[in-house]
Structure 1
Amino acid sequence: MCEAGGCGAPTAGRSGPRPGRPWAAADEPGYEYGSRRYLLLCGLGGMLSCGLTHTAIVPLDLVKCRMQVDPGKYSGILSGFGVTLRDDGLRGLARGWAPTFLGYSLQGLFKFGLYEVFKIHYAERLGPERAYAWRTGLYLAASASAEFFADVALAPMEAVKVRIQTQPGFARTLRAAAPRMYGEEGLRAFYKGVAPLWLRQIPYTMMKFACFERTVEALYTFVVPKPQSQCSKAEQLAVTFVAGYIAGVFCAVVSHPADSVVSVLNKEKGSTAFGVLRRLGFWGVWKGLFARIIMIGTLTALQWFIYDSVKVYFKLPRPPVPQPPESLKEQK
């Protein structure tokens, strides 16, 4: 979120504690906001938050993908789990965990790390007054920019994951699937889904970051009975979790149609995004939405919780709820 006094990024060289920064006490070592080490640790937090959470929900993701590509056989969440257990056994629910962990760890590194980079850069370009007044647009622009690069990192492993999970008899492991895909289709097999990924992930991430930032601001303004600076670490992490879940529900709805296209596209050789979209139709792209809301709501809440927990552990500066700069206050 924005710095106190507006969304303008602080100077990275400033040291010492700053007012209203309750997670970095004066006697605790920490990392200066915007410094290289700060940004690298933010990337580490993103790796852990995305890699761990996406791997943890592989069973639900597997059933959701199969509902999208074969709705006749996998007609619902519970029945989908039942069919998977009957066909593949308990181990079948973990199919695709390795590409999921690798792909989403890389995605998290770029998503969260570059979000901080772009947020600081865009705020500096706008100046404190416009950065505060246009802070929602700032969040949207920074998150979209970060996700563009994050999806390039994610695309190869996402393609492998979907092929393992949805194409019976193709391969059961990353070591078997990746060489076969390369041998049959070349590099295109790993990147043919990057454009649909952008269509799915960029709106998702824009909603994820902007909705989270503004929800946190609203919770501290209208719900939490005391100022953020007086809240304990546990209380602030609880606010983070609630805001993350609310953001996750909106993310799921916004990104679900493109997610359905990606699942079918990566399953079928020679398919195109527009061809899949035409074949699925309006109602087809919404198959599995309820499963995705449960998955993404929980996922997003846990990601923000883990990400902020990493900041707490490393004593990284956590900017307080944004306040208008003095120049705007004086105009009122």
Structure 2
Amino acid sequence: MFSRFFNKASCQASQDSAIEAPMAPITTDNSPKNLVQSLVAGRQIAAAAAAEGDSCEFGSAHYFALCGLGGILSCGITHTAVVPLDLVKCRIQVDPAKYKSVFNGFRVTLKEDGARGLAKGWAPTFFGYSAQGLCKFGLYEVFKVMYTDMIGDENAYLYRTWLYLSASASAEFFADIALSPMEAAKVKIQTTPGFANTLREAWPKIYREEGLNGFYKSLVPLWMRQIPYTMMKFACFERTVELLYKYVVPKPRADCTKGEQLVVTFAAGYIAGVFCAIVSHPADTVVSKLNQEKGATALSAAKKLGFAGLWKGLTPRIVMIGTLTALQWFIYDAFKVAMRMPRPPPPEMPESLKKKLEGKTE
């Protein structure tokens, strides 16, 4: 199924290519005007060439590769930039008696470790979240097109929120497998005094003490944290952009400048980020506790923390994740603009669906 999908997604037209219409039998067409449906309802993209002004075709292998590169930049840069806040957040979660608040956490860290101490864990953060970003954004675009192809453009429009949720969950499943080893090293460096100061020290030590399990023991709670987070991140962002253009922005997206469109992207990203932080925070606390304590399980860590403990560090995480999500979407969209990639407008009802609805009302 995957090979069939990628052959179609790569938009390589041939004289004998078969074009699938949603919910219809396969038919062949030897004309040079063969078309493939895009995710955006009612929009079609010529298979033979990119649209005028675009550097690649929507849904092509080149397009997906650029989406992955944009994900590396957006996640790797932003997560590394907020390492000091992330370090304090993790320490509040695992040792609230010592690190009582955000400001207290910064003060204690500066006193004990100096300014360099705030950068602890930057290397696993950069490499881990770069790998995660590659899978998160790149595979999201892949799964979004794949699922649209499976259910047809009418259903993709009617159930687009479910489409965003399922595509983002599928992408994050693989993204967390890429992230987990680096996340384990990051948390160990940040929350276990004397364990290690660098990635080069942490990885051999984790493997020596816990084997491969040490890198993946928090994968399930990581899925519990990241999958709901990413589902909210993508679905809330997509629908918020749609609503902003519909009710807030005084003119259609096509009439907005690239700068104005990026402002809308940033605003929608921040709104999505606030919700992301709330729904994923308890699992984030468990992940921090798990990686701090050798031999702990997700259930034992949750019991030890208690209900109130699961919500420790929520305020700095809302600030961190809200800013992160907004900047990630901004960088990702700006990268698309810079690379002249196709940026489809918000979904519109397909003409075929409009005719069906009009027929029912007559």
Q: Deviations over 1:150-189 (max 9, x none)?
A: 0000000000000000000000000001101101111110
The size of the alignment, in residue pairs, is 320
Instruction: Give the whole-Å Cα distance in 2 for the aligned partners of 1:276 and 1:189.
Output: 16
The question of 1:15 aligning with 2:49 is answered yes
Instruction: Give the whole-Å Cα distance in 2 for the aligned partners of 1:124 and 1:55.
Output: 36
> Which consecutive segments of 4 or more residues in structure 1 shift more than 4 A?
none
Instruction: Give the whole-Å Cα distance in 1 for the aligned partners of 2:311 and 2:142.
Output: 34
Q: Deviations over 1:3-34 (max 9, x none)?
A: 4435x8x56725343xxxxxxxx3x3511000
Residues 228 and 301 of structure 1: CA distance in aligned 2, closer, same or farther (over 3 Å): same
1:35 aligns to what?
60
Residues 150 and 4 of structure 1: CA distance in aligned 2, closer, same or farther (over 3 Å): closer
- Given the alignment, which residue of 171, 175, 183 partners 1:150? 175
Residues 14 and 248 of structure 1: CA distance in aligned 2, closer, same or farther (over 3 Å): farther
Residues 126 and 29 of structure 1: CA distance in aligned 2, closer, same or farther (over 3 Å): closer
- Given the alignment, which residue of 264, 278, 284 partners 1:239? 264
The question of 1:54 aligning with 2:79 is answered yes
1:20 aligns to what?
none
Where relative contact order (Cα < 8 A, 6+ residues apart) is larger, the structure is 1
1:256 aligns to what?
281
Unpaired segments of 5 or more residues in structure 2?
1-37
CA contact 1:3–1:320 (8 Å) conserved in 2: no
2:29 aligns to what?
none
The question of 1:288 aligning with 2:307 is answered no
Name the TM-score, length of structure 2 as normaliser.
0.87
Please provide the CA RMSD for this pair: 1.2
1:275 aligns to what?
300
Q: Within 5 A, what are the aligned runs for 1:164-243?
A: 164-243=189-268
2:89 aligns to what?
64
Identity of aligned residues (%): 67
Which letter maps to 1:40? Answer: A
- Given the alignment, which residue of 280, 297, 300 partners 2:322? 297
Q: Deviations over 1:31-75 (max 9, x none)?
A: 100000100000000000000000000000000000000000001
Instruction: Give the whole-Å Cα distance in 2 for the aligned partners of 1:142 and 1:30.
Output: 25
SS at match of 1:32: coil
CA contact 2:54–2:341 (8 Å) conserved in 1: no
Which letter maps to 2:47? Answer: G
Q: Deviations over 1:186-231 (max 9, x none)?
A: 1110000100000000000000000000000000000000000000
Which letter maps to 1:120? Answer: V
1:111 aligns to what?
136
1:93 aligns to what?
118
Unpaired segments of 5 or more residues in structure 1?
18-25
1:21 aligns to what?
none
